[in-house]
Structure 1
């Protein structure tokens, strides 16, 4: 058997284990000495962690990619578990989970960051996607937004606003995804009016087949109702 297992750091192993257990993982091994170490498993997924006191989740750049045909099932399971754990879906800060996206280079994926700052990307191959010029430009904006999550908002907001204004007449899914991210930031800033205006436009543009995107809008609207 050939197996590669990533081992990620965390500040508090007990807190991290409790977090992953809330996502349906089971602790299959744990030791406290000579160093804190544990193994978490969920069906065929295995993640190993070690505890280190000076770990800073805000400065963590550790990540791994999980390639699986179960991406949609895992996305639904993780979002439901995170809603139950937090009372609402965490979309910013730590922990957080992104939208699920069909990437132009042929992967359907989402990512979530745990309380230790480790980013887990989960995706499946779907083949290359045909996109309009506007959709391609907006895809780059989405990539920027996801990668810049920890950047100051004054860096992210102008990029999103410019993209929305430029492509406002484009009826494409990526525009609504950019608007959704911008609404999320507006909620964080306390600008609920702007957030609601953007979410109304998103709901008007989404089709019935966009189940995950509509659920994301519902999650953000819950943040406005129950901040």
Structure 2
């Protein structure tokens, strides 16, 4: 594997994905070859490309403590914060969906139960759950989707944070 540092990862990602759509009619997210979604991680924004032989390129633009990065990877609840950060990294950085699902099942309550943290934290957990399910099975988890819709209707988009939640939710549904 190799890390390729670029000045504008969003532009490079857009070029990769638009050419894939044009040439093969889709963006391959699993199997070989494949390309990941654009990810916001602690130290950079990146995507991963794996060729037909399994060679992997991490393409990214480093940044410091960017507020968006901290927003997506963190929870206010001290009870869940560390587990959520690991869950986020397993899902988006390592793309280890099986381990991420096991962690989700072990450390977070069932999605239909009451989550004993603020609703914004719950929305973040549900977003990762929804995306994890879609990434691993290519389907939308109905009860997670319903709960997210309910939270969005009840809590957002009144603040910039809830606007971010709504945008990410729409991106997951569109497959972005």
Short-chain TM bin: 0.5 to 0.7
> In the alignment, which of 99, 105, 118 is matched to residue 37 of structure 2?
99
What is the aligned partner in structure 1 of residue 128 from structure 2?
A: 177
- Computing the radius of gyration from Cα coordinates, the structure with the larger value is 1
In 1, are the aligned partners of 2:47 and 2:59 still within 8 Å (CA)? yes
What is the aligned partner in structure 1 of residue 159 from structure 2?
A: none
> Do structure 1's residue 117 and structure 2's residue 54 form an aligned pair?
yes
> In the alignment, which of 2, 11, 19 is matched to residue 73 of structure 1?
11
- Secondary structure (helix, strand or coil) at the match of 1:109 reads strand
Larger helix fraction of residues: 2
What is the aligned partner in structure 2 of residue 160 from structure 1?
A: 104
TM-score by length of 1: 0.50
In 2, are the aligned partners of 1:66 and 1:122 still within 8 Å (CA)? yes
What is the aligned partner in structure 1 of residue 94 from structure 2?
A: 147
Distance (Å, rounded) in 2 between the aligned partners of 1:197 and 1:207: 21
CA RMSD of aligned residues (A): 3.5
5 Å-filtered alignment, 1:124-135, equals 124-129=61-66, 130=70, 131-132=74-75, 133=78, 134=80
> Do structure 1's residue 217 and structure 2's residue 173 form an aligned pair?
yes
In 1, are the aligned partners of 2:101 and 2:132 still within 8 Å (CA)? no
Instruction: Give the superposition deviation at 1:141.
Output: 1.4
In 2, are the aligned partners of 1:71 and 1:109 still within 8 Å (CA)? yes
For residues 180-203 of structure 1, the C-alpha deviation after alignment (integer angstroms, 9 at most, x for no partner) is 02222233xxxx4x5344455557
- Secondary structure (helix, strand or coil) at the match of 1:147 reads coil
Aligned length: 149
Distance (Å, rounded) in 2 between the aligned partners of 1:84 and 1:135: 40
Contiguous gaps of at least 5 residues in structure 1: 1-62, 221-227
- Secondary structure (helix, strand or coil) at the match of 2:141 reads helix
